[in-house]
Amino acid sequence: MGLFGKIIAKITGSADASAADWDELKTALLAADLGPELSNEVVAAARSVRAGSATEAITKALTSSLCNESREISRSISGPTVLLIVGVNGTGKTTSAAKLAAALASDDSTVLLAAADTFRAAAVDQLRTWGERLDIDVVHGADNADPASVAFDAAQQVIARNMDYLIIDTAGRLHTKNDLMAELGKVKRVVEKILPVQEVLLVIDATTGQNGLTQAKIFTESVDVTGIIVTKLDGSARGGIALAIERSLGIPIKWVGTGESVNDFARFDPAAYIQALL
């Protein structure tokens, strides 16, 4: 049992938990990146019930902070479904694009990847390597090609080949740079000249803490994020940022990455997530 679980067990098993015990719980919640507002609500919920019901009250408070939006990938009514993968460098964005492609392909769907992170040659090479490993085609351009041009070419190909999904890996935008965020918006607009973008999935590194919430807010303002992929959710206590994002923005976590393997990627299960957090 981790530190977080031990603190809850102490409070649950005692009818007279001390102020220090409650402070310890709040500190643990803050360390788990739930943020001060949600942490205060969880402590208040636990203190309002009998000691033996504290765990249930905490679980209920955490569950209620999750949004009620669908966690399924939104499919196009007709034609290919286009998914735009966005996020800052270092979050596991390109790897997540490849893993998502593999997950969708495992359901007997046809998937095309687009390497539109043209500002970083390593990202194009990385996605092409993943494509070869997974036997999934990757559309790419020349070095430093226009990202919107690569995305548009991929959209044309996915239509011509009558495929089910197009997943576009975009450049790792620095969320503080307005010009780069505008370029990301351009990619979306260009693709939508011939195909609607059904999902804009933002990749967040669970270990970045409250900075992940800031990223989510700014990306949402720029490209209307519809879902979150949380990476590096490896069982450590610092995965609370998922709760903070959902509670603050109402954007559903749809997929989570827990490791480097292609199989370390799964649909987000709220109940299992909260149980692991506790």
Same domain, 110 and 233: yes
The answer to whether the Cα torsion of 103, 105, 106, 108 is positive or negative is positive
Same domain, 154 and 26: no
Distance, CA of 62 to CA of 56 (rounded, Å): 10
Beta bridge partners of 265: 257
Give the model's confidence band at 100: pLDDT under 50 very low, under 70 low, under 90 confident, else very high.
very high
Per-residue pLDDT, 52: 60
Where helices occur in 48-191 by DSSP H, the ranges are: 54-64, 93-105, 121-134, 147-160, 178-191
- Count other C-beta atoms under 10 Å from residue 261's C-beta: 9
Same domain, 89 and 48: no
Which token pair is 120?
């970083």
Same domain, 88 and 59: no
Can you give the residue range of the structural domain that contains 19? 3-64
Per-residue pLDDT, 237: 46
Please indicate, yes or no, if residue 224 is contained in any of the structural domains: yes
Distance, CA of 82 to CA of 37 (rounded, Å): 36
Give the model's confidence band at 202: pLDDT under 50 very low, under 70 low, under 90 confident, else very high.
very high
Task: Please say whether the beta carbons of 44 and 52 come within 8 A.
Answer: no
How many domains in the chain? 2
Same domain, 162 and 207: yes
Domain of 241: which CATH number? 3.40.50.300
Percent of the chain surpassing pLDDT 70: 88
How many residues are present in the chain?
278
Please indicate, yes or no, if residue 175 is contained in any of the structural domains: yes
Same domain, 217 and 257: yes
For the question of whether the overall pTM of this predicted structure is more than 0.85, the answer is yes
Same domain, 43 and 148: no
Same domain, 105 and 236: yes
Same domain, 126 and 203: yes
Three-state DSSP state, 60:
helix
